[in-house]
Structure 1
């Protein structure tokens, strides 16, 4: 028998002043962001491991830095779900069901395409964070809103860096 989204084991039932409907909405929004963060983290690491070309070192280091930053969001998102009384992801299977960021399993992706794909994924992530921000605002969850505001800023920074780096790879450098 399947449990509803709001069913929480008694020992995990974190006290909160938020109504259950708000807990459920916040949990769904944050768990989707969490799944996307894991998907984007792994794709960024994949491209970090498989980048090639004359800008290898710069791109390799940038993607490593960005993957670390993305991974750092995962614990904060999951813990926020728990703080408001929800239940968070438990498996790779759940991530696969919830993620909206598409995997890239190609044997070879040219460097510029890698950077552009990650740029678009980060843009999509920022848009999803803004939608989640609207949900948490409606639920009067200021703490989650503040967390998302910082993550949006970091995601926009990654997007900017990827945009600029992908322009150089295209041969527009001086």
Structure 2
């Protein structure tokens, strides 16, 4: 006969103090100093928060897109959202690998983001695309600045992530979105 504390009963409603506070880094043998890792984690967490919001905007606009280009934009926004989701994971894992704590709770993300909140309802497609472009620009400006400063501190791993993944993905997505806002006639020149 099994007891309530035996192997079959889940231990529910567990509570504990935090094992590591947000905004701290634990010591790891990475060849990077504490201050460098602290700075990198702070910058990466801001970009992570903005990237999580951009991902959510892509999802929202993917659901809300309307009009003659519905199918094309619906698919494009879904594709971009998937790429942003991968960036979220890469950024969070980099922060953790530096000994930091990645921002993960949506309420905490909302406190850290620089991207303005959209209205709760549906906007015209050009406004949605403009909103996405603005969010991308905010992230690109911050990512380029962070990459430069983090590189100067000797953290080439974070620099590489920011340039090779965040900046390059963002630039390509901006190009695809911006071209949808060009007013070009379809059948007449």
Asked if TM exceeds 0.5, the reply is yes
**2:109 counterpart of 1:109:** no
Say what the alpha-carbon RMSD is for the aligned residues. Answer: 1.8
Distance 2:174 2:25 in 1: 37
Q: Is the 8 A contact 2:47 2:143 kept in 1?
A: yes
Distance 1:173 1:106, change over 3 A: farther
Q: CA deviation at 1:4?
A: 7.8
Structure-2 change in CA distance of 1:110 and 1:153 (3 Å): same
* Shift of residue 75, structure 1, vs aligned partner: 1.0
> CA 1:7–1:18 in structure 2 vs 1: closer, same or farther (change >3 Å)?
closer
| Structure 2 partner of 1:165 | 180
Q: Distance in 2 between matches of 1:132 and 1:45?
A: 26
8 Å contact kept, 1:14–1:82 = no
User: What pairs up with 1:149-164 in 2 under 5 angstroms?
Assistant: 149-150=163-164, 151-164=166-179
Partner of 2:54: 40
Matched, 1:91 2:109: no
Q: How does 1:1-150 map to 2 (within 5 A)?
A: 5-6=23-24, 8=26, 13-150=27-164
Contact 1:16 1:85 in 2 (8 A): no
Flag structure 1 segments of 5+ consecutive residues without an equivalent: none
TM-score, normalization by structure 2:
0.82
What CA distance in whole angstroms lies between the structure 2 residues aligned with 1:173 and 1:140? 50
TM score, norm. by length of structure 1: 0.88
Q: Deviations over 1:77-115 (max 9, x none)?
A: 011111122221141122011111122133120011111
Equivalent-residue separation in structure 2 for 1:18 and 1:56 (angstroms): 48
Aligned pair in 2 of structure 1 residues 129, 109: CA closer, same or farther (>3 Å)? same
| Number of residue pairs matched by the alignment | 166
SS in structure 2 at match of 1:108 = coil
